[in-house]
Amino acid sequence: MYLKAREPVVLNFNAFMSFHPDPKSEYNDQLIRATNMTVSALRFMKTFRAGYLEPEVFHLNPKKSDTELFKKLIRFVPSSLSWFGAYMVNAYPLDMSQYFRLFNSTRLPKVSRDELYIDEKAKHLLVLRNGNFYVFDVIDRDGNMLKPSEIQAHLKYILSDNSPTPAFPLGYLSSENRDTWALLRKNLLDNGNEEALQKVDSAVFCLSLDDFPVKDFVHLSHTMLHGDAANRWYDKSFNLIITKDGTAGVNFEHSWGDGVAVLRFQNEVFKDSVGEPAVSPQSQPASVDSSRAVRRLDFKLNDALKAGITKAKQNFDSTVEALTLDMIQFQKGGKDLLKQKKVSPDAVAQLAFQMAFLRQYNQTVATYESCSTAAFKHGRTETIRPASIHTKKCSEAFVKEPSKHSTEELQKMIMECSEYHGRLTKEAAMGQGFDRHLFGLRCLALSKGTSLPDFYQDQAYARLNHNIISTSTLVSPAVQLGGFGPVVPDGFGVGYQVHGDWIGCNVSSYPARNAKEFLQCIYKSLEDIFNVLKGKKISS
């Protein structure tokens, strides 16, 4: 699905998640944070590759299974039987097959279908600054990590390099239509850039150092979701982005894996870089010759490549200019109150989106919520379809005729929505959704050259898959904010987080829709739902 898509990955597929600042403010210096996060990312990679990373487990009874005692005991059980021990205490190991593509991995543009590339032998980091590409080894010949003081010295050297932004920054090519980019890449290879591109593709990951501070949350979202394409390589499995004021985030390519793998990486990197920082503000960079260790990549460009970069920049700038990003923090309640009232926090957030759209556009539309299917081997995602007859009935009662219904009746409708949404979520997580099955059958038909059944040509099927509201949620102690672009030109991209006592919502749209107005409608909807749950009347 991802590799055959020809649209640019930026805004269409790549998502972002930003880290909380380091609690110790002096550690939010760009060089200090970049060094600490790079070291923590390498520690994570080495732990994973050595087979010591704690597995992802879904605990149905955490009091029994999520304990130090159980973890110690299960270590001594042979791996062929350990699953049985976990099953006995209702703990279910989740698929982690995506993790190996976190590092040394990139998506290569090819005509009609891209490829995923990985080279675990490569030992260097790719650093982007001012549109310039730098590489240096972070792993030595024996497989050991470079000393943190040396990594700090090399990053300091890059930050002090005054090289101007190239006249034709190569980063823009990774923001282009995939077929266009595939042909330009072939031209790059034919023009003698094979070794430089190999360095980019095989790097452990891409560290993007931006030369400006973040102004506010909206600026933060723009910076992490797309930023300046000159200073990104969107095809890498992920870009770790660190701005002038130490604000950090991850922009990740989606074909190799999903948010669950990236979130685990972010949780571990945040916890390690904050709890066990490799360098401090008092640390001195090692006295090494960084001018020899760090290499700036030079690319040979002909007129066709220069024209391709110029065109890619124009396309990127006009797309980004058309994008609106905005956010709200609803402070009048969150997960704690909703659980007390015995309703699903996720169901309430999704109900608020349905109500908001009805309030804004007087209709309900196809809505997508992603759900991990990591309970299965090689599981990716299934779709939860939050728009239902229950949410429609409830939304209409709240938006169109609140005075006709008693508070008890409205509470009952919220409960119905919650129960139904809970059922949909369980079905999706257990592979009982319909979207991926239908997609699989469609792929089979196309691969065998058989004609698609009439069902796939139906108007209703087309409308169902034109997801005007596309949503995703991830809550973590490491993540401050997350988001993505709309998946259709007349849609909204909704990233949301339901915390203990507040709800955060980050919405993107193009000119066909109004993200700011939609957020106001979401706020009003959440306010109404919480008031009703507290037994209050709602104002029209």
pLDDT tens digits, 15-68: 999 999 999 999 999 999 999 999 999 999 999 999 999 888 887 778 888 888
Q: For residue 82, how many C-alpha atoms fall within 13 Å in the half-sphere facing its CB? A: 14
Of 36, 13, 505, 19, the closest CA to residue 214 belongs to 19
In this prediction, residue 62 carries a pLDDT of 80
Which residue, among 348, 329, 277, 392, has the nearest Cα to 23 in the 3D structure?
277
- Catalytic entry in 124, 254, 390, 421: 254
pLDDT above 90 covers what percent of the chain? 88
Instruction: Determine the average pLDDT of the residues in 190-202.
Output: 98
**Spatial distance between the Cα atoms of 221 and 223, rounded to a whole number of angstroms:** 5
Q: What is the pLDDT of residues 99-128, one digit of tens each?
A: 999 999 999 999 999 999 999 999 999 999
Q: Which residue intervals of 400-509 are DSSP H helices?
A: 407-429, 435-448, 454-457, 459-464
- 108 CB-near residues (< 8 Å, 6+ apart): 114, 115, 116, 117, 185, 201, 235
Task: Evaluate if residue 253 carries a pLDDT over 70.
Answer: yes
Given a contact cutoff of 8 angstroms between Cβ atoms, the answer to whether 382 and 433 are in contact is yes
Q: Tell me: the pLDDT tens digits for 447-481?
A: 999 998 898 999 999 999 999 999 999 889 999 99
Predicted local distance difference test score (pLDDT) of residue 540:
64
**pLDDT for position 399:** 96
> Using an 8 Å Cβ cutoff, are 252 and 262 in contact?
yes
174 — pLDDT class (breaks 50, 70, 90): very high
Active site residue 254: yes
Q: What is the mean pLDDT of residues 424-437?
A: 94
Return mean pLDDT, the chain: 95
pLDDT at 68: 86
pTM to 2 decimal places = 0.95
Alpha-helix runs per DSSP H in 250-375: 259-275, 290-293, 303-321, 335-340, 345-361
What mean pLDDT do residues 365-391 have?
Answer: 95
The pLDDT value given to residue 297: 98
User: What is residue 302's predicted lDDT score, i.e. its pLDDT?
Assistant: 97
- Summarize the confidence of residues 219-241 as an average pLDDT: 98
Bridge partner list, 128: 133, 208
If one counts every other C-beta atom within 10 angstroms of the C-beta of residue 291, the result is: 10
